[in-house]
């Protein structure tokens, strides 16, 4: 266990950030799954804008890599175009 006050604080803050990152990442993954499950193009386009926003936020905070974000958005756009 850590001996310094600053190290203890770092442990607490790192844990808090880790939990928030996990929550945001899982929320985005669930939104992507829901988007892939949609069958109506009109609904899918509306949901697509929300999902892209979530993906961009993850990328901006470096929770996921920017290339992964681009790949996800591209695949989702192709999926919607095929509906």
Q: Say what the pLDDT of residue 40 is.
A: 94
Arithmetic mean of pLDDT, 54-66: 96
Which letter does DSSP use for residue 38 in this model?
A: -
Predicted TM-score (pTM) of the model is: 0.86
Tell which residue, 75, 38, 73, has the closest CA to residue 54: 73
DSSP count for the chain of H helices, then E strands? 3, 0
pLDDT digits (tens, 9 = 90+) for 1-48: 778 999 999 999 999 999 999 999 999 999 999 999 999 999 999 999
Q: Does residue 73 contact residue 52 with C-beta atoms inside 8 Å? A: yes
Confidence of residue 56 (pLDDT cuts 50, 70, 90): very high
Q: What is the mean pLDDT of residues 77-82?
A: 95
């Amino acid at each position: 266990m850590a001996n310094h006050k600053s190290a203890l604080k770092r442990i607490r803050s790192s844990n808090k950030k880790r939990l928030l990152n996990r929550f945001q990442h899982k929320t985005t993954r669930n939104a992507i799954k829901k988007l892939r499950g949609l069958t109506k193009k009109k609904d899918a386009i509306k949901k697509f804008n929300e999902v892209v926003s979530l993906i961009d936020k993850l990328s901006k905070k470096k929770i996921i890599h920017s290339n992964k974000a681009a790949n996800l958005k591209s695949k989702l756009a192709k999926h919607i175009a095929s509906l």
